[in-house]
Amino acid sequence: MDEEIYKIITDAYGTVFQPMARDVIEVRKTAANEGLDMALTSFKRNPSAEHFNLLKVAMLTYQYWVQKRVIK
């Protein structure tokens, strides 16, 4: 599942090494952070396999946007 999500992200936005505009990255990073908070809250409330998988996807997405290179 993780590989599929990463492929979807990289197909849409390129690898983390391909630079992108700072404003786009900041918006996506903020959204990923909010998603991570929501997934963590859901997992803490109900630590099921489904919520764990959502948490993993949220962490992967957040990590991608944190590591994404910026156009200088």
Distance CA 26, CA 32 (A): 10
Q: What pLDDT, on the 0 to 100 scale, is given for residue 3? A: 85
Question: Is 45 part of any domain?
Answer: yes
Q: What pLDDT, on the 0 to 100 scale, is given for residue 5? A: 87
The tens digit of pLDDT for each residue in 48-59 reads 999 999 999 999
What pTM was estimated for this model as a whole?
A: 0.89
Cβ(23)–Cβ(71) under 8 Å? no
Question: Is 44 part of any domain?
Answer: yes
Whole domain around residue 29: which residue ranges? Answer: 2-67
Q: Does pLDDT of 2 surpass 90?
A: no
The tens digit of pLDDT for each residue in 21-48 reads 999 999 999 999 999 999 999 999 999 9
Choice between 1 and 70, residue whose per-residue pLDDT is larger: 70
Structure tokens at 7: 């492929």
Number of domains in the chain: 1
